[in-house]
Structure 1
């Protein structure tokens, strides 16, 4: 669509073909070799049919980096029939290279000046490298889990198991220290016992929160537990607080610690 071009600047090439309305035709797409040009984009137009036949058209935006003074191009249209596909070439078209530097005389290299001013460039993330790094880390993680998956999962279970025990112990000790409070001492004793039952229930997987004192004694074998629970029951239900109540709570805590250590050992030895 023009008779000249400049290196690196786009130029448009129009291609039209008139044919029978029944013909099946194809125009070149991005897979075609446009040498010495390179395809930038293409635009197709709807088929126009009149008594003269059907007209198909397309405009290609091309670019060239060649320095040939004259550059030519002839694009084909592919016509398909039942047996074969025929290429019909357009007439060869020419464009002349429009120079931007005058070559009428020799260049005076002594008068050239150099520009050494540094132009700062903005940092850009290296997405391919980041992607490869993520893939490498993922692969390393899969290999690590493949070889050390069981020990890792065991350590995670042990960490969570100890964290639950530490949380229970912190709350239980705080309630135990507040049992001599005149206003909330009995309430704190009851809360401490409920907390102890819930923790033991989780360890033993038995409904200790609904067990009676006799049922608790039947499921936990400890000679000191009977007197401790009776003392605590007397404190909670009878409102009788004595110095042995704190000792009874200590016995409950020692029993909970013993159960914690036993179950932890089972986790350590598990595969």
Structure 2
């Protein structure tokens, strides 16, 4: 009697200690019956369970042999009439040549500190062969030689071109470093010639306009152009100097003094001479002096 009473008292404790078994098992199935080598096939895994269970589906680290994992898509848990549905679709592919290939993925249940693996029934898929099997393995098919050359598209050889470009840049850099003074002098002489030719053309245009119109504006423009050109040529600022200061700057040059005095008399005194020789002489003297200064600086450069 004492033993019977103990057994009756221990039955509820044993029932609580024994983990409850799942009420259903997960199911896995391929969405197609056949698959080719390397072709992607979808494997659907579903599990219906009580809402209170913690369920973990396999991820990319699971063992999918003989298939290769490509991707997956999880769906949100749906609960209806006291039952929850978990669903996931895996994208797989195979390169095995077995006629029938199977896959079984386990689902993990979390119960406190314990875990329970629920295996699915193996799902099968048939391999679709695109090449008929050889009936006679000992007699391979006869090979027909073909020695005809096929055209090959030319490709741009980047390494050699880059190496050649680096060599050209290195040689050019060496030449620039070695002859930089000579190159700088040549470039300066080129700019001097170009600026002098532009000055002569613009100066002649202003003189011609003054000769035709006898307008003081054209004469002032010619004098201003002459001052600006000498300022740029000699790298000074004589354009802001007065006539007396310009003459003193050029050591009382007779041509400069005479030409600027004649120009001032016409521009500021409005004293036109009936004889155009004086204004023409002023223009000629200024142009001659500019050419003389150019030859002096150009020869030094």
Query: In the alignment, which of 212, 226, 238 is matched to residue 183 of structure 1?
Result: 212
The answer to whether the aligner puts 1:252 opposite 2:282 as a matched pair is: no
Is residue 197–residue 209 contact of structure 1 (8 Å, CA) maintained in 2?
Answer: yes
In structure 2, relative to structure 1, the CA distance for the partners of 1:253 and 1:97 (3 Å cut) is same
The answer to whether the aligner puts 1:241 opposite 2:272 as a matched pair is: no
How many residue pairs match? The answer is 252
Q: Once the 2 structures are TM-superposed, how far is the Cα of residue 183 of structure 1 from its aligned partner?
A: 0.8
Query: In the alignment, which of 72, 77, 86 is matched to residue 47 of structure 1?
Result: 77
Is residue 175–residue 191 contact of structure 1 (8 Å, CA) maintained in 2?
Answer: no
The answer to whether the aligner puts 1:226 opposite 2:257 as a matched pair is: yes
- Equivalence map 1:18-37=2 (5 Å): 23=54, 25=56, 27-29=58-60, 34-37=64-67
Q: Once the 2 structures are TM-superposed, how far is the Cα of residue 99 of structure 1 from its aligned partner?
A: 1.8
Instruction: Identify unmatched segments of 5+ residues in structure 2.
Output: 1-30, 273-277
Q: Once the 2 structures are TM-superposed, how far is the Cα of residue 175 of structure 1 from its aligned partner?
A: 3.1
Deviates more, 1:242-251 or 1:37-46: 37-46
Is residue 77–residue 89 contact of structure 1 (8 Å, CA) maintained in 2?
Answer: yes
Query: In the alignment, which of 162, 169, 173 is matched to residue 196 of structure 2?
Result: 169
Deviates more, 1:13-22 or 1:172-181: 13-22
Q: RMSD of aligned C-alpha atoms?
A: 5.3
The answer to whether the aligner puts 1:103 opposite 2:133 as a matched pair is: yes
Q: Once the 2 structures are TM-superposed, how far is the Cα of residue 208 of structure 1 from its aligned partner?
A: 4.0
Q: Once the 2 structures are TM-superposed, how far is the Cα of residue 92 of structure 1 from its aligned partner?
A: 3.9
Query: C-alpha separation between the residues in 2 aligned to 1:220 and 1:82?
Result: 106
- Equivalence map 1:137-176=2 (5 Å): 140=166, 151=177, 165-176=192-203
Equivalent in the alignment of 1:16: 46
Is residue 4–residue 95 contact of structure 1 (8 Å, CA) maintained in 2?
Answer: yes
Query: C-alpha separation between the residues in 1 aligned to 2:261 and 2:115?
Result: 101
Equivalent in the alignment of 2:93: 63
SS in 2 for 1:246: helix
Deviations 1:110-154 (A, max 9, x none): 6x8899999999x7988xx86x799x58x959x96xx77x95998
Equivalent in the alignment of 1:268: none
Is residue 105–residue 120 contact of structure 2 (8 Å, CA) maintained in 1?
Answer: yes
Deviations 1:203-250 (A, max 9, x none): 666554433223444556673543443344456555542345223212
Equivalent in the alignment of 1:6: 36
Q: Once the 2 structures are TM-superposed, how far is the Cα of residue 36 of structure 1 from its aligned partner?
A: 3.8
Instruction: Identify unmatched segments of 5+ residues in structure 1.
Output: 266-271
TM superposition score normalised by structure 2: 0.55
Deviations 1:63-116 (A, max 9, x none): 223322233334466778998999876554332222223337448846x88999
Query: C-alpha separation between the residues in 1 aligned to 2:114 and 2:230?
Result: 85
Is residue 176–residue 246 contact of structure 1 (8 Å, CA) maintained in 2?
Answer: no
In structure 2, relative to structure 1, the CA distance for the partners of 1:41 and 1:104 (3 Å cut) is same
Query: C-alpha separation between the residues in 1 aligned to 2:87 and 2:288?
Result: 94
Structure possessing the higher radius of gyration over alpha carbons: 2
TM superposition score normalised by structure 1: 0.60
